[in-house]
Structure 1
Amino acid sequence: MKKLPLLGAIALLIAAQTPAYADDLEFMLANESSADLVEFNISSASSDDWEENLLEGGYLAPGYESGVLIADGLSTCIYDLRGVFADGSEVEDFNLNLCDLGGYTFTD
């Protein structure tokens, strides 16, 4: 799996608005689909809304991965994820325990 340095900014985008807490959560995001991941949203499972697009102005190409840091100050591991791809497809996955998973992979 290749790492895409540009998307190291994902961690900065999530962490930029909040101070670091002991409950910060890190996981790997991988794109094993056949299309570029052009939008990525993550929200606490208790939220009814998606947070901003963490790939704004960028993308995660097939075969690449990037580290993600969630520094939202919450003491939860349960999150919802949403990915939108360049081919127009969309994936939503709910109530994921990212502490147990340690990562998430988008596939076809």
Structure 2
Amino acid sequence: MTKKLVSVAAIIVGIAASVSHAHAEDLVFTLKNATSSTLERFYTSPSGVDDWEDDVFGQDVLEPGQSIKITIADGRSVCKYDMRFEFTEDSNLDTTEDTQDLCKMGSYTIHE
């Protein structure tokens, strides 16, 4: 019985360690919209990857003057990300792209 208890405890410790390790790689930052237009879509992708990941906002948008906490939980230990910002059709702003080391930044502000 004691061997089984030790084995179960070892498995639980292993699972807990892997879960905490996955959370350690989550990249969290605040995105601020300092433009006069609604940010409709926001895409990120690690630098060097040719395709954009899914739209981070989904059905949401980021209105002028608002900010949102973004969590990139892709399991990668990457800091440098390409970003693509798409505004509403009635906006006078063009789609904008930028590359930043998001680990060094607690926030990113999109300007006109």
TM-score (norm 1): 0.76
**What is the aligned partner in structure 2 of residue 101 from structure 1?**
105
Q: 1:1-108 alignment to 2 at 5 Å?
A: 20-86=22-88, 87=91, 89-94=94-99, 96-108=100-112
Deviation at 1:32, TM superposition (A): 0.4
In the alignment, structure 2 segments of 5+ residues that lack a partner are 1-18
- Provide the aligned C-alpha RMSD in A: 1.4
The structure showing larger relative contact order (alpha-carbon pairs under 8 Å, at least 6 residues apart) is 1
- How far apart in 1 are the matches of 2:102 and 2:49? 16
**How many residue pairs are counted as aligned between the two chains?**
89
Greater helix proportion: 2
Greater strand proportion: 1
CA deviation digits over 1:72-105, x for unaligned, max 9?
Answer: 11111110111001116211002x1001112111
Secondary structure, aligned partner of 2:61:
coil
Which residue type is aligned with residue 104 of structure 2?
A: D
- How far apart in 2 are the matches of 1:21 and 1:53? 21
Which residue type is aligned with residue 108 of structure 2?
A: Y
TM-score (norm 2): 0.74
